[in-house]
C-alpha cells in the first residue's frame, strides 16, 4: 500500500507536523527553495552559456522567461524528494501560506513532475486542529500568487543585475543596487543630510520645585507677561533661529537668571486646575512589521534575529505564521485570549465584548491572521519550556495578544497653572502636569515600548498633590536651565521598518534581509541601535538620484509594490508590465545604455559636503579626503588623507578635515619622547581610527611599534603616559594559579587578558567597559578568566557539538547578528537555511567548516583540524565556487553586456 508524501520547507517544521499526521503520511523537507535563477556562471547550463542574457538569468528577448537552475547544494535534496515520491499515491505541498511558499510549491511541482494526484495544503499554525482542518480543505496551486512572486523575483533581478555592474564601474567594486534596498539606503542618507544641515538653537527656561501639604511637585515656565516661552519645536533646524512668524519669547540666559532670582522668594498661587479624563485602547496584535519594531525596541533584536527566532517558534508550533500584514484574530484566538485574561487578571480586566482590529497598512496582503500564540488555548510563557531569546519573543507575542482583549485603561490627565510675580519682568506662569491611572486595564499585561508592564505602570503615573485655585504652594527652589536643540535622530531598525511600511515600500517579510544587505554591503553601520550611512552610501545615492531618480523615489517604488499586488490579484498582466519597465524608450535597459557614457567615475566617486575645505572620495580601501595645495616649489599637488571609519558623514566638519589633512601634509605631531628608547611618540589617524606610534617609518625601521587607542579614549585627552603604556602592551600581570603567565593586551577586537598555558595554548577573555587595560590587576584578570568563554561579540555558545576525532578544539554553535553559525578555532560557517540548533549535528558542522575553510577566505593557518580532516575525506570540497573561469570571461559583446555578465559574481545582488 502506498503512502502520502507531504513536503514542507524545513526539518523543524517537518518534525512538528509529523506528530499530527496519520502513520501512512511521510514528511520531507525541501530545505527552502530547490530552484532559482543562477547565482554565478558555473550554474548556467551548457546549452545557454553562449546567450547574452544567460548571466542575467532572464531571457529578456523571449517573454522574460526565467532560467531556473537547481543549485549544487540542492541536487541531493531534489534526488531524495524524488526517491520519496516513488511509491506515493498522493503528494501534498505544505509549504508556507504566502507568495513565497506558493512559489516553492510550484517549483517543486515543476521539478518532481509527479504522476500522482497533487494538492496544496495550507495552515497558519502547526497544531493538531489546524493540520486536521488543512487536510480536509486542500486546494489547487494559486497561479496568480505564483506569477506575482515570479514577477517580483524577475523585477528584482533586472534592477540588481543591470544597475550593480554600473556601480562597480562608476563607484566601487562589490556594491549592489536593489529595488527596495536602494530606496532604504536613500532614506538613511536623507536623514544624515538633515543632520549635517542641522543648526543647533539655544534657549533657556526655568524649573521650580514646589510643595503643597508636604507633597513635592515640579513646574516649568511656560509664559512671561502672557507671551509663550520658546521651546525646542519653535526652532528652524536649518538655521538654528526661531521659525519665521513664531509668536514666542526667546528667553536669554541673563533674563532667565534675573527671573530665577525674582520668583525664588515670591508668592506662588494656583491660577487654573484642569483634570481631563481619557481612555487608552490596547494596540492591535502583532504583524511582521510591528513585531520587528517592538522586538528591536524592547529586546534589542535586529530584524534578522527577530524573524529567525519567530520562524523557529512557528515551526515548533508555538506561534502562528510570522509573515503577515493582518491584525485580524480568529474567533478561536479571541476566545483563547479572553480565557487568559479571565484566569490571570480577573473578569474586571476583560473587555466588555470581543475586540477585533482592522488592517491599515498600505498594500496589506498574503495575510490570514495576526501573529499570536498557536492553538485553541494559549500556553503561558512559563509553561513553554522556552529559554533566552525564544522565551522573550514568545512572551512579547503572548502579552500583546492577551492585552488586545483586555479592558481600556482609564486615566486622568492633570494640569495645574501657577502664577508668580517676576518683578520688573512681569508675571510668570508655570505649569505642572501629571497623570493618574484610575484603572490600569490592559496596561497590566502590556505597555508598548516597555519590557515590564508593572514597572511601566509605575512610570505611567505622575501624581500631583490635591490643588485648588487660590492655593499657595511653597517654593523650595528654582533652577535656570539652558537647552540646545538636537539634530534629527538617525533611524533605528524599528524606525526604518516603520517608515518603509508607512510608505508602502517592499514587503514586511523582506525588511530583515533588506536591512541585513545594507549593512553587509557597507552602506551603513549599526551602532548603539542606530543605522549610520557610510560615505559610499552618499556616493551611490547621489548617482542614482541624478541618473535614475525613479528607482530611489519612495512614491515610484510604492506604486511598483501596488502593481505587484494587483498582479497577485489578477488585476494586472505581469508580462506587459515587465516589458514596459525594462524595455522601450523609457525602460531601464535603455536608460542604462544611454546614461552609462554620461556618468563620470571621478564625479561619482566624489562626495561633496558643504563647509569642508576638501572633497571626500571613495577609493578601493574606503573613503579619503582630497584637496589641492601649493607645494614648496610653487607647483600644485593633490593632498590625500584617509578618513577613519569612525568618522560619519554628519560628524565630518572643517576642523576634523583640516586636522587630518595637516597631519598628512606636515607629518604626525609628536606628543613626547619615550625615555627608554629616546624615540618620539606620535598620534596618528588611520582608516581604523586613531593610534600611537613610536618612531618614524624608515629603511632601518620599516614597521615601528604601533597601538590603537581603546574604544572610548578621546585622542585630544591622550597623555604621553597613556601612549607609552599602550605601546608597551602586552604587559605581564603575574602567574596563574594553574601555571603559566597572565598578560593584558590590546588586540583587533579590543582590550583583553590572556592566560599562556604552555605549548602554544592560550585562553583569552575580553575586558569589560569598566576595566582599563593599562591598570587592570592580576586579581581581576583571574576573575575574568574564570568566567565561561564567550564568542565574538560577547556571545556564549548555544551548544557544544563535541570535539572531532584527532582534533584539539571543540566545535561550538553560536547565534550571531546574521543567524546561527558553527565555529572551531578561527573558522566560522553559517548554517544553511532550514538547519536549526536542534537539528545540526557534529558531522554536518564538520562539513560546513571544511567547505568554508576550503574557500580560502580565511588564513591558511586558521583552518580547523575538523576542516582538515573533512577535506581529506571529501576532496571535492576543496574546489572553491569562486574560481570558475566562466565567471571571469562571460560572453558579451557590448560594454553593458560585459558589465552585466560580471554581475553574476555578486551573490543575489538585489534579491531583497
DSSP for 636-687 reads EEEEEEEPPTT--TTT--HHHHHHHHHHHHH-PEEEEE-TTT--EEEEEEET
Judging by beta carbons within 10 Å of its beta carbon (0-12, 13-18, 19+), is residue 853 exposed, middle or buried?
buried
Phi, psi of 771 (to 5 degrees): -90, 140
Dist. CA 660–CA 194, nearest whole Å: 24
Dist. CA 591–CA 189, nearest whole Å: 24
What are the residues whose beta carbons fall under 8 Å from the beta carbon of 13, sequence distance 6 or more? 29, 126, 314, 315
Cβ neighbours around 104 below 10 Å, total: 23
Report the C-alpha dihedral over residues 621, 625, 628, 634, rounded to 10 degrees. Answer: -80
Beta bridge partners of 829: 822
DSSP 481: E
Grid cell at residue 508: 514586511
Tell me how many degrees the CA angle 705-710-713 measures, rounded to the nearest 5: 115
The dihedral sign for the CA sequence 561, 567, 570, 573: positive
Three-state DSSP class for residue 448: coil
Q: Find out whether 314 and 17 touch, Cβ atoms under 8 Å.
A: no
Grid cell at residue 167: 556601480
| Pairing between β-strand 680-686 and β-strand 622-630 as defined by DSSP bridges | unpaired
Rounded to whole angstroms, what are the CA distances from 232 to 207, 482, 487? 16, 11, 11
Phi, psi of 420 (to 5 degrees): -145, 145
DSSP 816: E
Catalytic residue among 203, 321, 349, 446: 321
Grid cell at residue 336: 483563547
Dist. CA 636–CA 627, nearest whole Å: 10
> What is the separation of C-alpha 214 from the centre of its chain, rounded to a whole number of angstroms?
49
Q: Select from 190, 897, 192 the least CA-distant residue to 545.
A: 190
Q: Find out whether 193 and 540 touch, Cβ atoms under 8 Å.
A: no
DSSP for 673-712 reads E-TTT--EEEEEEETTEEEEEES---SS-SS--EEEPPTT
For residue 555, the surrounding DSSP H or E stretch is helix 554-568
Chain length of the chain? 912
What are the residues whose beta carbons fall under 8 Å from the beta carbon of 222, sequence distance 6 or more? 228, 229, 417, 429, 430, 431
Three-state DSSP class for residue 432: strand
Cβ neighbours around 673 below 10 Å, total: 14
Q: Select from 289, 294, 292 the least CA-distant residue to 305.
A: 292
Task: Quote the radius of gyration of the chain (alpha carbons, Å).
Answer: 32
The dihedral sign for the CA sequence 893, 899, 905, 908: negative
Rounded to whole angstroms, what are the CA distances from 22 to 18, 484, 875? 8, 68, 42
Q: Answer yes or no: 314 catalytic.
A: no
Three-state DSSP class for residue 27: strand
Active site residues: 321
Amino acid at each position: 500500500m502506498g503512502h502520502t508524501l507531504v513536503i514542507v520547507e524545513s526539518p523543524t517544521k517537518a518534525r512538528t507536523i509529523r506528530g499530527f499526521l496519520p502513520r501512512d503520511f511521510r514528511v520531507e523537507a525541501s530545505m527552502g527553495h530547490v530552484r532559482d535563477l543562477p547565482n554565478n556562471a558555473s550554474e548556467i547550463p551548457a546549452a545557454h552559456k553562449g546567450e547574452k542574457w544567460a548571466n542575467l538569468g532572464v531571457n529578456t528577448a523571449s517573454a522574460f522567461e526565467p532560467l531556473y537552475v537547481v543549485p549544487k547544494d540542492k541536487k541531493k535534496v531534489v534526488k531524495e524528494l524524488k526517491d520519496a515520491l516513488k511509491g506515493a499515491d498522493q503528494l501534498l505541498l505544505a509549504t508556507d501560506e504566502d507568495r513565497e511558499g506558493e512559489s516553492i510549491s510550484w517549483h517543486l511541482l515543476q521539478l518532481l513532475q509527479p504522476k500522482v494526484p497533487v494538492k496544496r495544503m495550507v495552515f497558519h499554525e502547526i497544531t493538531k486542529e489546524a493540520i486536521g482542518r488543512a487536510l480536509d480543505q486542500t486546494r489547487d496551486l494559486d497561479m496568480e500568487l505564483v506569477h506575482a512572486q515570479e514577477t517580483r523575483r524577475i523585477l528584482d533581478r533586472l534592477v540588481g543585475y543591470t544597475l550593480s555592474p554600473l556601480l562597480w564601474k562608476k563607484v566601487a567594486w562589490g556594491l549592489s543596487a536593489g529595488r527596495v534596498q536602494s530606496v532604504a539606503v536613500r532614506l538613511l542618507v536623507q536623514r544624515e543630510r538633515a543632520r549635517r544641515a542641522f543648526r543647533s538653537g539655544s534657549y533657556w527656561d526655568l524649573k521650580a520645585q514646589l510643595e503643597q501639604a508636604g507633597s513635592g511637585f515640579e513646574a516649568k515656565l511656560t509664559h512671561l507677561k502672557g507671551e509663550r516661552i520658546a521651546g525646542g519645536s519653535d526652532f528652524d533646524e536649518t538655521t538654528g533661529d526661531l521659525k519665521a512668524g513664531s509668536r514666542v519669547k526667546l528667553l536669554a540666559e541673563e533674563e532667565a537668571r534675573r527671573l530665577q532670582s525674582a520668583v525664588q522668594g515670591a508668592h506662588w498661587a494656583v491660577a487654573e486646575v484642569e483634570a481631563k479624563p481619557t481612555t487608552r485602547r490596547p494596540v492591535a496584535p502583532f504583524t511582521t512589521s510591528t513585531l520587528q519594531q517592538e522586538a528591536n525596541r524592547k529586546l534589542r533584536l535586529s530584524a534578522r534575529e527577530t524573524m529567525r527566532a519567530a520562524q523557529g517558534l512557528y515551526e515548533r508550533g508555538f506561534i502562528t505564521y510570522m509573515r503577515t500584514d493582518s491584525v485580524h484574530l480568529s474567533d478561536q484566538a479571541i476566545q483563547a485570549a479572553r480565557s487568559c485574561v479571565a484566569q490571570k487578571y480577573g473578569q474586571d480586566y476583560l473587555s466588555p465584548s470581543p475586540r477585533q482590529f482592522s488592517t491599515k497598512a498600505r498594500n496589506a496582503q498574503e495575510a490570514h491572521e495576526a501573529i499570536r500564540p498557536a492553538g485553541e488555548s494559549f500556553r503561558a510563557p512559563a509553561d513553554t519550556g522556552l529559554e533566552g531569546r525564544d522565551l522573550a519573543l514568545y512572551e512579547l507575542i503572548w502579552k500583546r495578544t492577551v492585552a488586545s482583549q483586555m479592558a481600556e485603561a482609564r486615566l486622568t490627565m492633570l494640569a495645574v497653572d501657577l502664577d508668580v510675580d517676576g518683578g520688573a519682568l512681569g508675571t510668570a506662569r508655570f505649569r505642572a502636569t501629571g497623570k493618574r491611572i484610575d484603572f490600569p486595564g490592559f496596561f497590566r499585561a502590556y505597555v508598548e515600548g516597555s519590557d515590564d508592564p508593572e514597572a511601566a505602570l509605575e512610570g505611567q503615573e505622575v501624581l500631583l498633590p490635591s490643588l485648588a485655585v487660590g492655593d499657595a504652594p511653597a517654593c523650595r527652589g528654582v533652577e535656570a536651565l539652558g537647552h540646545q536643540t538636537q539634530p534629527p535622530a538617525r533611524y533605528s531598525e524599528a524606525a526604518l521598518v516603520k517608515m518603509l511600511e508607512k510608505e508602502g515600500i517592499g514587503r514586511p517579510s523582506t525588511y530583515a534581509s533588506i536591512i541585513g544587505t545594507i549593512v553587509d554591503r557597507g552602506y551603513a553601520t549599526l551602532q548603539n541601535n542606530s543605522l549610520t550611512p557610510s560615505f559610499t552610501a552618499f556616493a551611490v545615492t547621489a548617482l542614482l538620484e541624478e541618473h535614475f531618480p525613479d528607482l530611489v523615489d519612495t512614491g515610484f517604488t510604492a506604486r511598483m509594490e501596488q502593481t505587484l499586488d494587483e498582479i497577485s490579484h489578477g488585476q494586472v498582466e505581469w508580462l506587459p508590465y515587465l516589458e514596459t519597465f525594462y524595455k522601450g524608450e523609457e525602460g531601464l535597459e535603455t536608460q542604462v545604455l544611454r546614461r552609462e557614457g554620461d556618468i563620470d567615475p571621478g564625479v561619482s566617486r566624489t562626495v561633496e559636503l558643504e563647509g569642508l575645505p576638501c572633497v571626500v572620495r571613495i577609493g578601493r580601501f574606503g573613503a579619503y579626503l582630497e584637496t589641492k595645495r601649493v607645494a614648496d616649489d610653487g607647483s600644485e599637488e593633490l593632498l590625500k588623507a584617509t578618513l577613519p571609519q569612525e568618522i560619519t558623514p554628519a560628524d565630518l566638519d572643517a576642523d576634523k578635515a583640516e586636522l587630518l589633512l595637516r597631519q598628512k601634509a606636515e607629518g604626525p605631531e609628536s606628543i613626547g619622547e619615550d625615555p627608554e628608547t629616546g624615540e618620539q611618540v606620535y598620534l596618528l589617524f588611520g582608516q581604523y581610527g586613531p593610534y600611537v606610534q613610536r618612531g618614524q617609518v624608515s629603511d632601518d625601521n620599516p614597521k615601528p611599534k604601533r597601538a590603537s587607542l581603546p574604544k572610548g579614549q578621546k585622542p585630544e585627552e591622550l597623555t604621553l603616559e597613556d601612549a607609552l603604556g599602550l605601546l608597551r602592551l602586552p604587559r605581564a600581570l603575574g602567574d596563574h594559579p594553574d601555571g603559566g603567565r597572565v598578560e593584558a593586551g590590546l588586540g583587533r577586537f579590543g582590550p583583553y587578558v590572556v592566560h599562556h598555558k604552555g605549548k602554544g595554548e592560550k585562553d583569552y577573555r575580553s575586558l569589560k567597559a569598566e576595566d582599563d587595560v593599562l591598570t587592570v590587576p592580576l586579581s581581576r584578570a583571574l576573575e575574568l578568566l574564570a568566567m565561561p568563554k564567550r564568542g565574538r561579540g560577547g556571545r556564549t555558545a548555544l551548544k557544544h557539538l563535541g570535539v572531532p576525532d584527532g582534533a584539539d578544539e571543540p566545535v561550538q554553535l553560536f547565534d550571531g547578528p546574521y543567524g546561527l553559525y558553527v565555529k572551531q578555532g578561527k573558522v566560522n560557517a553559517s548554517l544553511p537555511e532550514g538547519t536549526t540548533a536542534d537539528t545540526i549535528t557534529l558531522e554536518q558542522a564538520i562539513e560546513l567548516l571544511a567547505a568554508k575553510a576550503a574557500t580560502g577566505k580565511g588564513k591558511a593557518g586558521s583552518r580547523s583540524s575538523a576542516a582538515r580532516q573533512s577535506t581529506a575525506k571529501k576532496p571535492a570540497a576543496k574546489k572553491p565556487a569562486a574560481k570558475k573561469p566562466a565567471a571571469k570571461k562571460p560572453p558579451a559583446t557590448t560594454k553593458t553586456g560585459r558589465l552585466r555578465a560580471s554581475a553574476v559574481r555578486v551573490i543575489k545582488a538585489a534579491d531583497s
